[in-house]
Amino acid sequence: MDDPGRLLDLLPDDRNPLSWVRGSDGLVGWGEVARITVTGPDRFAEADAWWRDFAERLEVRDEVDVPGTGAVAFTSFTFSPRSAGSVVIVPRVVVGRRDGQAWITEFAAGGGPSAVRSVSPVRASGPLRYGDGRLPVGRYRQAVAEAVRRMQAGELEKAALAHDLLAIGEEPLDPRFLLGGLARRYPTCWSFAVDGLVGATPELLLRRDGEQVSSRVLAGTIWPGERTGSDLGGALLASAKDRREHALAVDSLATALRPLCAALEVPEVPAILALHNVSHLASDVYGQLDPEAPASLLQLAEAVHPTAAVGGTPRDAALEVIEELEGMDRGRYAGPVGWVDADGDGELGIALRCAQLDGRTVRLFAGCGIVADSDPDTEVREAAAKLVAVREALEGTG
């Protein structure tokens, strides 16, 4: 198709728009042909098997033949296997663009009318009031302090703790307003929407393109106001605490990917990723999958999730600490989110800088990586700085 313009502007007034967009490229979708919801430790394998079976039974006409064309599903998984709600959704319509080439994919079962719809105006959020979530700030600080105590006692090295915040509107909220606001403010992030979970993540958990796999690991954060001086990136690179936190995250990803790869390239020194509200240490990891039996995107996700960036080290001990000290169900926050095609290729980010929309209510999330020398007050301020992304977009400010 000819250039359709801004992809997010094509989304009709739908309670559950689907999106995976970065800059001018990506995918948006609407309507629903099929879905599966899975729970438990085998949720990735069950979703992968269902999607493979579904895709194999399709008759596909694809004149474009680039990643993202043909049959595509959007997916979002819970952080914990105990949480319900991991989902794979096959949209009726997908519009995509990659490197200047645009296309539309539509299911046409039964020869019914086109599902392409006219677009109604995006509705602003209007007045919002905020309230405590399931883990308010005061209890979050206590959880961080207790995690630090346990790390100093040698029980574990790192745990990524999060808390939540509620926003309530006067009318049902339009997810397109939040999605569009995040995309404008964070064009280098992946703006996603799947089944009411809307966000803009800077962290690419996995990209699979044939036998090639890549990942962008983020851990270690600084924000304006935390430290004096203009060279925030230099201060972040010089921080022993942040460098250690980042190394744990990179090592956990590499350890999980290495058995599935014939070759893996891991940078020795991280780079700086500067965003509107915070800056992170970032490392891009590249691998060549085993050519004899290349793992699909969802199989790779099962192997690597959760990395130490959003879980901790050692993994099992960190997950126990998260469950105990947070005392809340994260849902799909910090879980894999993105898209997969019929060949098992696609992209999955980590659901960060996000919120779950449910009518008039929005549940916002933010978290921090905690290590033995973390300061609880600093971590509380860091989480607040990360919440700025969603709050500004939701309010239409900033």
**Catalytic positions, written as ranges:** 158, 203
Cα torsion at 48, 51, 54, 55 (round to 10°)? -110
Answer whether the bond into residue 306 is a cis peptide, omega within 30°.
Answer: yes
How far CA 159 is from CA of 141, 313, 388, in Å, comes to 14, 7, 22
Evaluate the CA torsion angle 214, 184, 249, 72 in order and state its sign: negative
End-to-end distance of the chain based on CA atoms, in angstroms?
35
In order, the DSSP letters of 258-320 are GGGEEEEE--SS-EEEE-SS-EEEEEEEEEEE-TTSPPPHHHHHHHHPSPTTTSEESHHHHHH
> How far does CA 59 lie from the centroid of its chain?
31
Residues across the chain = 398
